[in-house]
């Protein structure tokens, strides 16, 4: 077995809540905080904490605005986030391929 793909899995993306968030954001130009929370059935605190980690890693951008006079927080992948996510998915593919060969 080649240990490469395991060693290279990005811990920021690998955590399963953050992996779910990154996957959702990879499939949409942007999503509101509420959309993310509802899609993942996570608590506000949980989503916020993951978003903060992704933001600190430079993977997710957060924009605060207003819609119908109510505050709206939207999230989207940064270019680094997209690159990191694609690399991560590539490593997962290698791990699956290795497992399927055994």
24 is a site residue for a copy of itself (CB under 8 A)? yes
Residue closer to a copy of itself (CB basis): 8 or 71: 8
How far apart CA 47 and CA 31 sit, in angstroms, is: 13
33 is a site residue for a copy of itself (CB under 8 A)? no
Q: Which of 96, 75, 92, 85 is nearest to 23 (CA)?
A: 85
How far apart CA 23 and CA 31 sit, in angstroms, is: 12
Q: Quick one: which of 26, 72, 79, 80 contacts a copy of itself (CB under 8 A)?
A: 26
SS3 of 39, please?
A: helix
1 is a site residue for a copy of itself (CB under 8 A)? yes
How far apart CA 57 and CA 40 sit, in angstroms, is: 21
Binding site for a copy of itself (CB under 8 A): 1, 3, 6-7, 9, 11, 14, 16-17, 19-20, 23-24, 26-27, 39-41, 85, 89, 92-93, 95-96, 98-102
């Amino acid at each position: 077995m080649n240990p490469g793909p395991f060693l290279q899995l990005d811990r920021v993306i690998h955590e399963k809540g953050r992996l779910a968030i990154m996957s959702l954001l990879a499939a949409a130009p942007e999503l509101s905080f509420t959309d993310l929370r509802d899609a993942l059935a996570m608590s506000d605190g949980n989503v916020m904490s993951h978003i903060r980690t992704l933001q600190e890693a430079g993977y997710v951008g957060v924009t605060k605005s207003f819609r119908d006079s109510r505050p709206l927080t939207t999230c989207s992948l940064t270019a680094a986030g997209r690159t990191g996510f694609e690399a991560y998915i590539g490593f997962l593919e290698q791990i699956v391929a290795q497992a399927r060969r055994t």
